[in-house]
Amino acid sequence: MGRALLFVSLLSVVNCVVGTEWIGEVKKEGNVTYQCKCYSDNACWPTGAEWTALNSTVGGALQLALPPGAVCHNKVGNLSVSTFNAAACADVKANWVNEQYLTDHPVANLWPLYTNNTCLPSDDPNAPCTRGFYGSYVIVAKTKDQIKAGVDFAREHNLRLIIRNTGHDFMGRSTGFGSLIINTHSFKEASFVKKYTGPGDWTGSAATVGAGVQGRELYRQAFAQSPKVVIVGGECPTVGWAGGYIQGGGHGPLTSIYGMGADNVLSFDAITAKGEYVTASANENPDLFWALKGGGPSTFAVVTSITVKTFPEVPVAGTIININSTHTNDTAVFNEGFRIFHNLANHYVDNGMFVYFELSTGRLHIAPFVGPNMDEAKLKVVLKPLFDQLNAAKIPYDAYTRAFPTFFEFYIDMFEDEQPNQNSVVGGRLFVQKDVAANGDKIAEALLFASAPTADTFGFSVGHIVNPGHGVPVADNAIHPKWRNASSFVITNVIMNGDESWEVKQDRNNVQTNIVGKALRAAGPNGATYVNEGDLHEPNWQESFWGSNYPKLLELRKKWDPEGVFYTQTTPGTEDWSVIDYGTKLCKKV
Task: Kindly state whether residues 285 and 323 are assigned to the same domain.
Answer: no
Give the integer Cα–Cα distance in Å for 346 and 351: 9
One domain, residues 400 and 499: yes
Tell me, yes or no, whether 246 and 201 share the same domain.
yes
- Asked if residue 529 and residue 388 are part of one domain, the reply reads yes
* Domain assignment present for 248: yes
Interatomic CA distance for residues 292 and 474, integer angstroms: 17
- Residue after which a domain boundary falls, among 164, 183, 202: 183
Answer yes or no: is 577 within a domain.
no
Beta-bridge mates of residue 33: 28
**Residue 271 parent element (H or E):** strand 265-271
Query: How much is the pLDDT for 29?
Result: 86
**Does residue 154 lie in a domain region?**
yes
In tens, the pLDDT along 312-323 reads 999 999 999 999
> What gap in Å lies between CA 481 and CA 475, rounded to an integer?
9
Residues 227 and 369 in one domain: no
Do 163 and 229 fall into the same domain? Answer: no
Same domain for 305 and 254: yes
CA distance 571 to 295: 8
CA 169 to chain centre: 4
Are residues 285 and 333 both part of a single domain? no
The per-residue pLDDT for range 364-384, each reduced to its tens digit, is 999 999 999 999 999 999 999
Domain tally, the chain: 3
Helix and strand counts by DSSP (H, E) for the chain: 20, 22
For residues 163 and 241, membership in a common domain is answered with: no
pLDDT, residue 22, reads 59
Residue 378 lies in a domain: yes
Choose among 140, 419, 42, 478: nearest CA to 299: 478
Q: pLDDT tens digits for 90-137?
A: 999 999 999 999 999 999 999 999 999 999 999 999 999 999 999 999
CATH number, domain with residue 64: 3.30.43.10
Q: What percent of the chain has pLDDT over 70?
A: 96
Instruction: Pinpoint the alpha helices (H) of 58-171.
Output: 86-94, 99-103, 144-157
Q: In the prediction, which pLDDT does 400 show?
A: 96
pLDDT value at residue 23: 75
Residue 169 structural domain = 3-183
Q: Is residue 491 part of a domain?
A: yes
Q: Model's pTM, two decimal places?
A: 0.95
pLDDT < 70 positions in the chain: 1-22
From residue 42, alpha-carbon distances to 11, 29, 556 in Å are 16, 18, 32
Residue 557, domain member (yes or no): no
Instruction: With respect to residue 575, please indicate whether it lies within any of the assigned structural domains.
Output: no
Q: What is the pLDDT of residue 81?
A: 83
pLDDT digits (tens, 9 = 90+) for 184-202: 999 999 999 999 999 999 9
572-585 confidence digits (pLDDT tens): 999 999 999 999 99
